[in-house]
Amino acid sequence: MDNVRNSVGLDINSRVKIQYETYPYPDYSLFIPLRTQEAYASNSLFSAQLLKERGRAAPVFTRVDAPILIAGSGDILPFVLSFWEPITHPIFAIDISERNLQRARMRSFLRPHAFHWRAGNLEDPLFKMPENIGHIDSYGVLHHLANPKHALKRLHDLMLPGATMRVMVYNSGARTWIRHIQRSFALLGLSPFDRKDLDSALKILIHLMRTNPMFAERLTPMKASILHHSARFVDTFFHAREARLPVNYWLEAFASADLECMGLFDRYAELDDLKNPLLIFPKLKDLESRVADRRFENNFEVFLTKKAPPATSPQALVPLRYPTRWLLRMPPKAWFTFSETNAISMPMRFRLWRSFVKTLGGTSVILDGHAAKLPPATWQRLARLGAVFPSNFTTVAMKDLLIAPIHKTMDQPSFPKAIDLQQDAELRSMLNGLMISKAKSKRALEQVYRRLNAAQNP
Q: What are phi and psi of 342, to 5 degrees?
A: -75, -10
pTM: 0.95
Is there a contact between 136 and 158 (Cβ–Cβ < 8 Å)?
A: yes
- Residue 168, beta-bridge partner list: 139, 301
When pLDDT is averaged across residues 76-91 and rounded to a whole number, the result is 96
Rounded-to-integer distance, Cα 444 and Cα 305, Å: 47
Amino acid 327: pLDDT:
83
Bridge partners for 68 per DSSP: 91, 135
φ, ψ of residue 104 in degrees (nearest 5): -65, -40
Instruction: Give the number of C-alpha atoms closer than 13 A to the C-alpha of residue 306, restricted to the C-beta side.
Output: 21
For range 150-170, the mean pLDDT: 98
Q: Residue 4: its pLDDT value, please?
A: 44
Query: Could you give the C-alpha distances from 99 to 19, 82, 143, 174, in angstroms and in order?
Result: 11, 20, 21, 31
Lowest mean per-residue pLDDT among 148-157, 249-258, 305-314, 415-424: 305-314
Q: Which residues share a beta bridge with 165? A: 136, 304
pLDDT band at 316 (very low <50, low <70, confident <90, very high): low
The answer on pLDDT for 150 being more than 50 is yes
The average confidence (pLDDT) of the chain is 95
Q: What is residue 33's three-state secondary structure?
A: coil
Separation of alpha carbons 388 and 201, rounded Å: 44
What's the pLDDT score for residue 314?
Answer: 62
Q: What pLDDT does residue 416 have?
A: 93
Domains contained in the chain, CATH given: 2-171+242-306 (3.40.50.150), 191-237+418-454 (no CATH), 326-403 (no CATH)
> How much is the average pLDDT of 237-265?
98
The answer, yes or no, to whether residue 73 has pLDDT greater than 50, is yes
Residues facing 380 on adjacent strands: none
pLDDT higher than 60, residue 313: no
Distance of alpha carbon 418 from its chain centroid, rounded? 30
> 64-73, 289-298, 308-317, 447-456: which has the minimum mean pLDDT?
308-317
pLDDT at 370: 98
Rounded distance between C-alpha atoms, residue 172 and residue 185, angstroms: 19
Per residue in 329-359, pLDDT tens? 999 999 999 999 999 999 999 999 999 999 9
Q: pLDDT class for 381, splitting at 50, 70, 90?
A: very high
pLDDT digits (tens, 9 = 90+) for 13-63: 999 999 999 999 999 998 888 999 999 999 999 999 999 999 999 999 888
